[in-house]
């Protein structure tokens, strides 16, 4: 799911977004509640009409901001008090308030409000956040009033396999229409994330969507699919695109590098995106000249690449050839985790 935090995927209008192959997008409850406000979005027809997107929309609950804005947030059993990053005013979020905002926004999938902590963290802090998230899940489930909005529960538990399994088991008792694995890609090595997925996804119903939040690199997507994950979101395609890094089957390309100055070839042969109808040399020129078209085209390419990767994975699964597909892709990618910024 491309990330449209504020009702837009940065630099990409909805028509271009559809052309990438995207089927579903993500918005953010905290940010939209602050600006323009859920009442404004509701008055203008809800988030679909507001942003002009006629496909499914998932809204994050604001729980990630408990992590990303930790220095501005105070957590209690009741909820979280933030200091707005816009004007410093006090903003209160509770499980009930988060669901009410998401219902006003009119998203198709609402996420429970959860407590996300950075990793590594102490055992007590992780256990407290996990059990608090379970209590908040029950409160959020009870607060829902829209029958046509699916609400997903979020598994927490840090890097503790037993705590992850316990969190999953308790959430399954609440019979959510879908489940997410949260609290990963927040500082831990990729191998530790994969190990937690090995423990977590088998504890979730196979007939419900399983969503890995805020992930990630192409490698992480393929490894997540191998472990039973169905849905992903991440800002990486657009954030890296805006910074002149593009993804290919041979690994990432840094378009500002001098080697691309006289390169007449496309970013990737066979890619149908508009960026690949130009040369690498031209795209490099756009970034060197600080032309806004450069970040736009690179973002579109990266989004197209991610959607093509997902489509290829679906085809490989249908052909019972996913294992070979995974090995081929992993061999082709030459980047190391330090080459590309991870994160939600």
Residues with a catalytic annotation lie at 60, 233
Q: Could you give the CA distance from residue 70 to residue 58 in angstroms, rounded to a whole number?
A: 23
**Those residues with Cβ within 8 angstroms of residue 217's Cβ, 6 or more apart along the chain or in another chain:** 190, 236, 335, 337, 340, 342
For the sheet containing 25-28, what is the strand order? Answer: 25-28, 57-60, 109-111, 150-155, 178-181, 210-212, 231-232
Query: Residues 248, 335: contact at Cβ < 8 Å?
Result: no
Query: 100: how many CB neighbours lie within 10 A of its CB?
Result: 18
Distances (CA, A) of 74 to 160, 223, 228: 25, 35, 35
Q: How many residues does the chain have?
A: 344
153 CB-side CA count, 13 A: 29
Residue in 210, 222, 195 with CA at minimum distance from that of residue 316: 222
Query: Residues 107, 99: contact at Cβ < 8 Å?
Result: no
Paired with 82 in beta bridges are: 73, 91
């Amino acid at each position: 799911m491309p990330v449209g935090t504020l009702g837009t995927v940065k630099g990409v209008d909805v028509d271009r977004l559809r052309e990438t192959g995207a089927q579903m997008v993500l918005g953010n409850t905290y940010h939209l509640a602050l600006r323009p406000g859920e009442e404004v979005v509701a008055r203008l027809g809800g988030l679909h009409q507001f942003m002009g997107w006629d496909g499914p929309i998932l809204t994050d609950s604001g729980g990630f901001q408990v992590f990303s804005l930790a220095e501005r947030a105070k957590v209690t059993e009741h909820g979280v008090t933030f200091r707005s990053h816009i004007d410093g005013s006090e903003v209160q979020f509770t499980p009930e308030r988060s669901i009410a905002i998401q219902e006003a926004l009119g998203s198709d999938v609402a996420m429970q409000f959860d407590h996300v902590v950075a990793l590594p963290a102490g055992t007590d802090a992780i256990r407290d956040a996990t059990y608090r998230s379970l209590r908040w899940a029950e409160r959020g489930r009870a607060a829902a009033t829209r029958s046509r909005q699916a609400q997903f529960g979020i598994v927490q538990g840090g890097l503790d396999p037993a705590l992850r399994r316990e969190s999953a088991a308790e959430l399954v008792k609440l019979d959510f229409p879908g489940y997410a694995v949260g609290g990963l890609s927040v500082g831990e090595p990729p191998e530790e994330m994969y190990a937690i997925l090995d423990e977590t996804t088998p504890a979730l119903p196979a007939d419900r969507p399983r969503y890995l939040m805020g992930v990630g690199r192409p490698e992480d997507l393929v490894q997540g699919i191998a472990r039973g994950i169905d849905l992903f979101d991440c800002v990486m395609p657009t954030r890296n695109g805006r910074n002149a890094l593009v993804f290919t089957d041979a690994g990432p390309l840094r378009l500002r590098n001098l080697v691309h100055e006289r390169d007449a070839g496309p970013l990737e042969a066979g890619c149908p995106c508009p960026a690949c109808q130009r040369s690498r040399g031209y795209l490099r020129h756009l970034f060197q000249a600080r032309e806004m078209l450069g970040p736009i085209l690179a973002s579109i390419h990266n989004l197209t690449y991610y959607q093509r990767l997902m489509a290829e994975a679906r085809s490989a699964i249908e052909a019972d050839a996913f294992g070979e597909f995974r090995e081929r892709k992993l061999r082709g990618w030459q980047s190391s985790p330090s080459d590309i910024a991870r994160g939600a």
